Structure 1
Amino acid sequence: MTPAEEILDPDLPIIDPHHHLWDLRGRYPAASPPPEHPFEVTLWRSPHYMADELAADLNAGHRVIGTVFVECSAMHRAEGPVQMRPVGETEFVNGVAAMFASGLYGAARACAGIVGRADLTLGAAVGPVLDAHLAAGGGRFRGVRNSASYDADPSILGYLARSPAGLYRAEAFRAGFAELAPRRLSFDAWLLEPQLPDLIDLARAFPETTIVLDHVGTPLGTGAYAGRREERFGIWRDNIFELAKSPAVFCKLGGLAMPFAGFPSFMAPRPSTSAELAEAWRPYVETCIEAFGAHRCMFESNFPVDAGTCDYVTLWNVFKRLAAGASDDEKAALFAGTARRVYRLDI
């Protein structure tokens, strides 16, 4: 990576509503060759992203005041009932949150909100799992993510191709989903652009449940979609506007630094500047803000995954460039206010 850019608008408060923590050194030893799938290369390049690495990014110059951790199958329990093992991740992250709450790692209150994993296909039986997360979260557990990302072309997702087609429409999944709202838990949704109609249908079926669309719906431009990203933009746009008709749905603006969209900036020999990335991502970000409004959108880092395209300083400079024409009130929502409200953060 090139040296970090000069910080734009350094006093603007930021709540980063989407990042991960993991220790993948067992999966990717120091001498291991790079994997074949481009997404997995990002993990191979950042196999250790824990409190120290997170603190280095949060203290790099932008005024990050807090964050939300989103599940990534880190630190699941090694023993016990399978359905309860993801609770180990919440226990781990709550400990990291306590480390940052001490002030020793800087001013940011990292992991002030926790989004964990629970298998909603358990139906009503997922209730005790959700209660265990709430108990383990120390008052920080805010919601669940079950990724539904699927495509008939296995090359797009690689080893992430773990979900069946139509997960969000499955009866068992929806029986588990019904357990969220009574516990004031939100749902983070990760799926691919062609699957957006599934989320639209889910949001209509559960209008009382807060749903957060991750990564602007993950536009595609690789595998069977290579060279077709612009061709499919109108389909994506229509679905985004349809999804935005459900008032309990919010949108995370980010994730475009991952390989799925096929932008040439991913793993480029010369890292792109924030100005170049802002120009490339502008149509997607501006469409989402137009559809949902600034008060239902939030910029996200998706780190360390998005480090495959740029560093943390550059990424937030991208977002600040994209929001340059917004009012002060809109900026406050996009960079912190929406995340604070959706995840009920006391920061």
Structure 2
Amino acid sequence: MAHERILDPDLPIIDPHHHLWDMRGRFGADAPAPRHGFDALLRRSPHYLLDQLLADLGAGHNVRATVFVECGAMYRAGAPTAMAPVGETEFVNGVAAMSASGLYGEARACAGIVGHADLTLGDDVAPVLEAHLVAGGGRFRGVRQSARHDPDPAVLGPLGGLAAGLYRSTAFRTGFAHLARHGMSFDAWLLEPQLPDLADLASAFPDTTIVLDHVGTPLGIGAYAGQREARFGVWRDNITALAERPNVVCKIGGLAMPFLGFDSFLAEPPATSETLAREWRPYVETAIEAFGAERCMFESNFPVDAGTCDYATLWNAFKRLASSASADEKAALFYDTARWVYRLEI
């Protein structure tokens, strides 16, 4: 498939959500065939480090900076379980330092870092957060701990296994209280039926900025197959209620993951930006209407979303979706919201 012409190539962008990983050892010659879409996309992008990120940043869009979000990469071998995720922050800060040298172009990769800490440690999470701040070299901005859960194992596949109700648990909330004390934000990944849990958490901690990842991950596979449109109203009502909490902002992206059951996932030939904009429009427009552009930011979620399209096509789709927005709204959606949420100096 020919690469698309870049739309509005001068529009400044901060990509506030991407990963870096090396999973090449996971898929040997004897590895079983993938049984879930997430396994299939990992086979497509098992290796995504600075070289691959730079290739995407150089695809033609004016990406000025990025924010790395935890994905379980490069944990410290042999470290205590609680401290092992600090290794990921050390690794990403090294990548950020390479980018900050200017040798790899003007874009500042990993200008902000969102790492992982197990907040169910309660008060014992404090030294972990402090270690992240040191390892991040001034770039560490917040924590992500996913609460993803569904009773149907076919929905999450290899990403399943978490118990229900994490964000409501006392232990988690005891640890969560330390984020505000350290000036950290919180990225939340959970599934659409769980959105009321996040609304309750946001109400309990109004002084902590909470970032909803992937517009709340609407569902259309497993037990939800064929119900995506029927459940749209439930998702919309939960998004609207969540947006009433002023400390919550919304990342618009992740719609290229397998969880929605769109025909574009792993399609051959890959879907065009016009097709993606048509698929994603109801979710994007609803989220922006609920939160306002000033509390929304487009995200690439790469390389995960590479299961549907390349980096250039994804940002073209977002630009099509924002084509009727004002200049100020576009600035917020593509740049300003990410800059203030993650306190980026670029």
Aligned CA RMSD, in angstroms, stands at 0.9
The amino acid across from 1:227 in the alignment is G
Q: Secondary structure at the match of 2:67?
A: strand
* Offset, 1:33: 5.4
* Offset, 1:30: 6.5
Identity of aligned residues (%): 73
The amino acid across from 1:194 in the alignment is P
Any residues of structure 2 matched to 1:190-209 within 5 Å, and which? 190-209=189-208
2:124 match:
125
Any residues of structure 2 matched to 1:34-113 within 5 Å, and which? 34-113=33-112
Q: Secondary structure at the match of 1:82?
A: coil
Q: What is the distance in 2 between the residues matched to 1:283 and 1:14?
A: 23
Q: What is the distance in 1 between the residues matched to 2:123 and 2:156?
A: 30
Any residues of structure 2 matched to 1:1-347 within 5 Å, and which? 2-29=1-28, 32=31, 34-347=33-346
- Of 236-245 and 264-273, the range deviating more from structure 2: 264-273
Q: What is the distance in 1 between the residues matched to 2:33 and 2:332?
A: 39
Q: What is the distance in 1 between the residues matched to 2:163 and 2:132?
A: 25
* Offset, 1:32: 4.6
Q: Is the 8 A contact 1:34 1:44 kept in 2?
A: no
* Offset, 1:26: 1.1
Q: What is the distance in 2 between the residues matched to 1:226 and 1:179?
A: 39
> Which TM-score applies when normalising by structure 1?
0.98
- The total of aligned residue pairs comes to 346
* Offset, 1:34: 4.1
> Which TM-score applies when normalising by structure 2?
0.99
Q: What is the distance in 2 between the residues matched to 1:290 and 1:340?
A: 21
- CA spacing shift, 1:164–1:33, aligned 2, 3 Å: closer
Q: What is the distance in 2 between the residues matched to 1:333 and 1:302?
A: 18
The amino acid across from 1:240 in the alignment is I
Deviations 1:4-41 (A, max 9, x none): 21000000000000000000011123775542111111
Deviations 1:137-156 (A, max 9, x none): 00000000000000000011
The amino acid across from 1:226 in the alignment is A
Deviations 1:74-107 (A, max 9, x none): 0000112110000000000000001111122221
The amino acid across from 2:196 in the alignment is P
* Offset, 1:251: 0.1
The amino acid across from 2:263 in the alignment is P
The amino acid across from 1:141 in the alignment is F
Deviations 1:272-303 (A, max 9, x none): 11011101100000000000000000000000
Q: Is the 8 A contact 1:76 1:89 kept in 2?
A: yes
Structure 2 unaligned residues grouped into runs of 5+ = none
Q: What is the distance in 2 between the residues matched to 1:337 and 1:214?
A: 17
